[in-house]
Amino acid sequence: MLSSFLRRLATAIPSLIGVIIVTFLLTRVLPGDTAAYFAGPAATPEAIEEIRVKLGLDKSIPEQFVDYVGALVQGDLGSSLTTGQPVIQDIIDRLPASAELTLFGLFIAIAVAVPLGILAAVRQGSWIDHLCRIVATAGVSLPVFFTGLLLVYVFYYILGWAPAPLGRLDVFAFPPDPITGFLLIDCVLVGDWETLGSALAQLAVPSATLAIFALAPITRITRASMLSVLSSEFVRTARASGLSPFKVIVGYAFRNAMLPVITTLGMVFSFLLGANVLVEKVFAWPGIGSYAVEALIASDYAPVQGFVLAMAIMYVVLNLLIDLLYGVIDPRVRIEG
Partner 1 sequence: MSTVSETTPAPPAPLLAFWRDFSRNRGALAGLLFILLVVFCAVFAPIVAPHAADTQYRDNFLTAPPWAGGDDWRFLLGTDDVGRDILSRIMWGSQLSLFIGAIVVTLSLGVGVLLGLVAGFSRGLLDQFIMRLMDVLMAIPSLLLAVAIVAVLGPSLTNAMIAIAIVVLPHYVRLTRATVIGELAKDYVTASRIAGAGILRMMMIVVLPNCLAPLIVQATLGFSSAILDAAALGFLGLGAQPPTPEWGTMLADAKKFVQSGHWWVVTFPGLAILLTVLAFNLLGDGLRDALDPKLKER
Report the residue from 97, 122, 152, 203 that binds partner 1 according to the rule CB under 8 A. Answer: 152
65 near partner 1 (CB under 8 A): no
Pick the closer one to partner 1 by CB: 9 or 297: 297
Rounded to 5 degrees, what are φ and ψ at 79? -115, 145
Residue 192 or 283 with smaller CB distance to partner 1: 283
Window 244-273: contact mask with partner 1 (x via CB under 8 A): --------------------------xx-x
**Is residue 281 near partner 1 by the rule CB under 8 A?**
yes
Q: How far apart are CA 295 and CA 39, in angstroms?
A: 16
Q: Is 227 in the site for partner 1 (CB under 8 A)?
A: yes
Residues 6+ apart with CB under 8 A from 35: 48, 49, 51, 52, 55, 57
57 binds partner 1 (CB under 8 A): no
Fill in the amino acid letter for 334: R
Instruction: Build a one-symbol-per-residue string for 164-203: x at contacts with partner 1 by CB under 8 A, - elsewhere.
Output: xx--------------------------------------
In the complex, what is the shortest distance from the CB of residue 303 to partner 1, in angstroms, rounded to a whole number? 12
Judged by CB, which is closer to partner 1: 5, or 156? Answer: 156
Position among 69, 111, 138, 321 found at the interface with partner 1 (CB under 8 A)? 138
Smallest distance, Å, CB 98 to partner 1?
A: 12
Query: From the list 91, 132, 304, 310, which residue makes contact with partner 1 (rule: CB under 8 A)?
Result: 304
Residue 86 has φ and ψ, to the nearest 5°, of: -60, 140
* Site track 104-123 with partner 1 (rule: CB under 8 A), x = hit: --------------------
Among 6, 29, 159, 171, binds partner 1 (CB under 8 A): 29
Q: In the set 217, 308, 310, 323, which binds partner 1 (CB under 8 A)?
A: 308
User: How many other C-beta atoms are found inside a 10 Å radius of the C-beta of residue 258?
Assistant: 20
- Does position 9 interact with partner 1 (CB under 8 A)? The reply is no
Q: Which of 100, 258, 103 is nearest to 167 (CA)?
A: 100
Residue 121 or 196: which CB sits closer to partner 1?
A: 121
The answer to whether 335 contacts partner 1 (rule: CB under 8 A) is no
Among 128, 311, 323, 326, binds partner 1 (CB under 8 A): 311
Cα separation, 168 vs 217, whole angstroms = 27
Min dist. Cβ of residue 40 to partner 1 (A): 21
End-to-end CA distance of the chain, in Å? 9
Contact residues for partner 1, defined by CB under 8 A? 14-15, 18-19, 22, 26, 29-31, 137-138, 140-146, 149-150, 152-153, 156-157, 164-165, 224, 227, 270-271, 273-275, 277-278, 281-282, 289, 292-293, 296-297, 299, 304, 308, 311-312, 315-316
